[in-house]
Amino acid sequence: MKPEAILSRAPIAITQAQREFYFENGYLVLEKFIPDEWLERLWTVTNRFIDESRSLTGSNEKFDVEAGHTAENPRLRRLTQPVEHDPVYWEFACKSPLTDLAEDLLGPDLLFHHAKLNFKWSGGGEEVKWHQDIPFWPHTNDSVMTMGLYLEDVYDVMGPLGVIPGSHRGETYDHYNSNDEWVGALSDADHAKADPEKNAVYLPGPAGSVTVHHCRTLHGSRPNMHPTRSRPLLLNAMSSADALPITPNPTPSTHNRELVRGRPARHAHMEPYPGRLPPDWSGGYSSIFALQQEEDGANAGVRQPKM
């Protein structure tokens, strides 16, 4: 759906000025947007998963763990597709203030794409290198975005999400390395061009705050250098119903392309996709952390394009 059509409808959760800010700048941060009752429910299930991860000695399809992860000292990078593992996460995606926010920025008919819970553990929890989302999962148009909920108070030292304002209106970057392998991050040359050191805005916020970034917005985050506190960020990606993925979902779930709200689209809204296509994810996807760090085996299942 086009921004003008979305903006012509009355907002339900945020102000018109906040919607205009989002379309102009490609991001938004809403302090304490999610009420405490929701945070309590989400923490109850999240703590259960942290405990479950203690028995792991390495990553699997559900949990992405750092190298030093142990039962006594769990170091989780990600719970993949939380919506698949507990109905509370799904209810949060489709029946909460987050869904109202999605309607204000994507229109009344909403499709779910995927969710993930990035923990960024205390004492050095890994950086996320600068990237755009749309090259991972190109769609027929740009009405696609990711909303992140901080489950904890997040300060600058904890690696809050960073964005480059206005970058959603610029170039769609290549996310391959010089060997033509997908790495899910900007090359050194593109990083220097985008210059996050100069242009980035970081979005810390108290627990319950929500960040939103457009699918073309350049974003990344630094390591979490807090000695004791992790930075759990629950991310939900959704689109307008008329924005259809043109490649397989790297992390599909049973909720892939499920209608979150409204009515199914009768027609796809088509806009040119100027970026390079991702590899064929249908053979497998590890995680953005493993791929960006170019860890051994991270690209194992990925069917790289053959040139």
Query: Rounded distance, CA 55 to CA 44, Å?
Result: 19
Under the binding rule (CB under 6 A), the answer on residue 94 touching ligand AKG is no
Using the rule CB under 6 A, is 6 a contact of ligand AKG?
A: no
Residues 65, 76, 94, 161: which binds ligand AKG (CB under 6 A)?
A: 161
Please name the helix (run of DSSP H) or strand (run of DSSP E) that holds residue 53, with its range, or none.
helix 36-53
Nearer to ligand AKG, 107 or 148 (CB): 148
Give the span between the Cα atoms of 82 and 90, in whole angstroms: 8
Output the smallest distance, CB 17 to ligand AKG, in A.
Answer: 26
Q: Based on the shown chain and the rule CB under 6 A, indicate whether residue 238 belongs to the binding site for ligand AKG.
A: no
288 is a contact residue toward ligand AKG (CB under 6 A) = yes
Q: How far is the CB of 219 from ligand AKG (least distance, A)?
A: 5
Q: Specify whether the CB–CB gap between 206 and 151 falls below 8 A.
A: no
* Cβ proximity to ligand AKG, 29 vs 233, nearer residue: 233
Taking CB under 6 A as the rule, does residue 118 contact ligand AKG? Answer: yes
d(CA 146, CA 47): 23
* DSSP codes of every residue in 238-280: EEETT--BSS--SS--TTTT-EEES---SSPPP----SPPPPB
Our CB check for ligand AKG shows the closer of 94 and 288 to be 288
Which of 34, 42, 106, 128 binds ligand AKG (CB under 6 A)? It is 128
Work out the end-to-end distance of the chain between its first and last CA atoms, rounded to an integer number of angstroms.
35
Q: In the complex, which residues of this chain contact ligand AKG (CB under 6 A)?
A: 116, 118, 128, 161, 219, 221, 233, 288
